[in-house]
Each structure stands twice: as C-alpha cells, then as structure tokens.
Amino acid sequence: KAGVTQTPRYLIKTRGQQVTLSCSPISGHRSVSWYQQTPGQGLQFLFEYFSETQRNKGNFPGRFSGRQFSNSRSEMNVSTLELGDSALYLCASSSKKIMTVTDTQYFGPGTRLTVL
Amino acid sequence: QKEVEQDPGPLSVPEGAIVSLNCTYSNSAFQYFMWYRQYSRKGPELLMYTYSSGNKEDGRFTAQVDKSSKYISLFIRDSQPSDSATYLCAIPLPGGYQKVTFGTGTKLQVIP
C-alpha cells in the first residue's frame, strides 16, 4: 500500500507570494491533517479534514487555508507569504472517522517551504 | 506557557547506552501521551502511547508518565545506531485525537 505522498517536496518562494501544497492520503483514508514544523516551535497543528469538511483548526492566521476533495486528496494554501512561514509542512492521514489515540496517523515526508 | 515542553538536546550517546528523553506538560486534564520518532527527511511515526500514569514497555522502549509532576519520559535501553532520530512527545488536545500538540523534539545520535 502506498504511503502518504506530498508534492512538491521542496519549494522556494518570495515574500508576498502565495503557495499551494498537495497531499494524497493512503488509499481508503478519509481524514487528512496538516502540520507546520519549525525548529523553534516544533510541530503545530494547522487543520484537519474529513470527507471534505474541516473539523478542527489550529491557531494560525487566515492566510492559511485548506480544502479536501471528494477523492480525499487535500491541498493547503498560504497567501501573502512571510519569512516566518518557512517550515516543513506535513500532512497525515488516518482511516477512522472517530480517532482514538491508538489509531495511527500516517505522516507524509513533508514539503520544505523556504520563503526569501 | 506552552502545552508541552521538551528537552531540546541534541543528545549523543555511545551504542548500548540507556537514553532518557523527557517532556513536561501544563494541563493536568491531559490523559493520553504519545511518543513519535522522526528520521531525517521523513515524517513522524507513532512509537508508543500511554494512558494516565505508570509505565508501558515495548521491547527496548519504556514510556513513563508521572501525572503528579506532569512529566513524561521515554527510555531506550541498549541503544542502537538505528535509533538515531528525533523523538517527539505528543498529547492529543480536546476536539479530537487528530488535533495533537507536539514537543519541539530531541535529536538523538547513537554512535557505534
């Protein structure tokens, strides 16, 4: 079974631009979560989608948005990029509608975004 | 105050050493505690989880929770070079277990 895939793996943008990142979950998984990982703040939860609906949202500004398609693939968008948005963006998928701590989220390898 | 704080490391130990990785958390209502392992250029993978207080053992790994002091630990016995990775403690937040708060991670290097 193929794992979670994320594209692109690396991206360089300049301040003020916008960016769209893509995540394809494991086949059959309907929940997709997005995280931002930086050396100073660690992994921070952005949002989570299930069956095209956003169910949970972290404490990020409105410049960060996402969506999920009917095939469970998800995209996240960051508008008006700032230097501080440079990070590794990870998505994770899981199969259950109601997750418990024992249900594993499978993470993708991430997209490394650099904002110049 | 951050919900979970983690000793930043990095840690460098010789092969065979016992490794101790530690985190503290702020909210006494937290009940589940997880440890993830992240290899370089990979996403995190769930290593272990524990509920409430006490120890949980899985092979060379032991997770420990002390709710009275809000302290969680991961011990690795007989450490191997393949254990070299970043270890993240994590706690699910109210709102669903998909919403997880992570420590900043401790980078471990096991030297052969």
State how far residue B6 is from chain A, nearest Cα, in angstroms. 10
Give the Cα separation of A73 and A29 in Å (integer): 10
Instruction: Provide the shortest C-alpha distance from residue A71 to chain B (in Å).
Output: 20
Partners of residue B93 in chain A, C-beta under 8 Å = 45
> pLDDT band at A78, cuts 50/70/90?
very high
Asked if A66 is an interface residue toward chain B (Cβ–Cβ < 8 A), one would say: no
Rg (CA), chain B: 13
At residue A104, the pLDDT reads 74
Interface with B, mutate which of A43, A90, A103 (most B CBs under 10 A)? A43
pLDDT of residue A87: 96
Is a pLDDT exceeding 80 seen at residue B35?
A: yes
Q: Please tell me the distance from the alpha carbon of residue B59 to that of residue B100, in angstroms, as a whole number.
A: 25
Using an 8 Å Cβ cutoff, are B88 and B66 in contact? no
Average pLDDT over residues A85-93: 96
**Is residue B87 predicted with pLDDT exceeding 90?**
yes
pLDDT, average across residues A68-77: 97
What helix, strand, coil percent values describe chain B, rounded to 5?
5, 55, 40
Residue A33 and residue A92 in contact, taking contact as beta carbons nearer than 8 Å: yes
A102 band by pLDDT with thresholds 50, 70 and 90:
low
Rounded to the nearest 10°, the torsion over CA B96, B100, A93, B64 is -110
Helix (DSSP H) and strand (DSSP E) numbers for chain A: 0, 11
Q: What's the whole-number mean pLDDT along residues A31-56?
A: 91
Q: What is the pLDDT of residue B96?
A: 62
Torsion of CA A60, A61, A64, A65, to 10 degrees: 90
Residue A89 · residue A110 · CB < 8 Å: yes
Mind listing the pLDDT tens digit for each residue in B37-78? 999 989 999 898 888 778 899 999 999 999 889 999 999 999
Which neighbouring-strand residues pair with B89?
A: B35
pLDDT value at A79 more than 80: yes
For an interface test with A, which of B42, B98, B101, B107 has the most A Cβ atoms less than 10 Å from its Cβ?
Answer: B98
* pLDDT for the residue numbered B32: 86
Tell me if chain B has a CB within 8 Å of the CB of A101: yes
In angstroms, the separation between the Cα of residue A79 and the nearest Cα of chain B is: 23
Q: For residue B25, name the pLDDT band (cuts at 50, 70, 90).
A: very high
Angle at A90 between CA A3 and CA B91, to 5 degrees: 100
SS3 B25: strand
